[in-house]
Amino acid sequence: MKVLVVHNRYRSSSPSGEDRVVDQEQAALEAAGHQVRRFERRSDDIATLSLLHKALVPAAVVWNPAPARDLEAMLATYRPDVVHVHNIFPLLSPSVLQACKRSGIPSVVTLHNFNLVCAAGNLFRRDAICRACVGRHIPTPGVIHGCYRGSAFSTLPRTASIVANRKLWQSAPSAYIFLSEAQRLELGAAGLPACRSFVKPNMVPAVKRRQTNDGLIVYLGRLAEEKGLRVLMDGWGVYTEATPDAKLRLVIAGTGPLEAEIRGWANGRSSVDVVGLLDRRACADLVARSAAVVVPSEWPEPFGLVVAEAMAAGVPPIATAHGAFPELITDGQDGVLYPPGDPSTLGAVLRRVDQDSDWTVKLGEAANETYHRRFAPAGNVAELERIYQYAVSHPRPNGIVR
Tell me whether strands 197-199 and 216-220 are parallel, antiparallel or unpaired. unpaired
What pLDDT does 397 receive?
52
293 beta partners: 218, 317
pLDDT (tens digit per residue) in 61-81: 999 999 999 999 999 999 999
Confidence of residue 401 (pLDDT cuts 50, 70, 90): very low
CA proximity to 165, closest of 112, 92, 103: 92
Q: Which of 16, 63, 92, 88 is nearest to 157 (CA)?
A: 63
State mean pLDDT over 124-152. Answer: 96
Q: Which ranges of 245-342 does DSSP label H, i.e. alpha helix?
A: 259-266, 280-287, 305-312, 325-328
For 205-236, the pLDDT digits (tens) are 999 899 889 999 999 999 999 999 999 999 99
Of 112, 203, 169, 191, nearest to 385 by C-alpha is 203
Topology at the third CATH level for domain 2-203+378-393: Rossmann fold (3.40.50)
* Predicted pLDDT of residue 211: 85
Tens of pLDDT, residues 262-293: 999 999 899 999 999 999 999 999 999 999 99
Half-sphere exposure of 112 (CA within 13 A, CB side): 20
CA dist 157 and 204 (Å) reads: 33
| In contact, 75 and 103? CB cutoff 8 Å | yes
The model's confidence at residue 15, banded by pLDDT at 50, 70 and 90, is confident
Is the omega angle on the peptide bond into residue 201 within 30 degrees of 0, that is, cis? no
CATH 3.40.50.2000 in the chain is located at 2-203+378-393, 216-375
Contacts with 332 (C-beta within 8 Å, 6 or more apart), sequence order: 363
Q: 216-375 has which fold?
A: Rossmann fold (3.40.50)
- For 291-323, the pLDDT digits (tens) are 999 999 999 999 999 999 999 999 999 999 999
Rounded to an integer, what distance in angstroms lies between the CA atom of residue 214 and that of residue 234? 22
Which H helix or E strand runs over 109? Answer: strand 107-111
- Taking the model in full, what pTM does it have? 0.95
Which helix (DSSP H) or strand (DSSP E) does residue 29 occupy? Answer: helix 17-31
CA distance 374 to 354: 28
- Judge whether residue 396 has pLDDT over 80: no
Is the confidence at residue 402, as pLDDT, over 90?
no
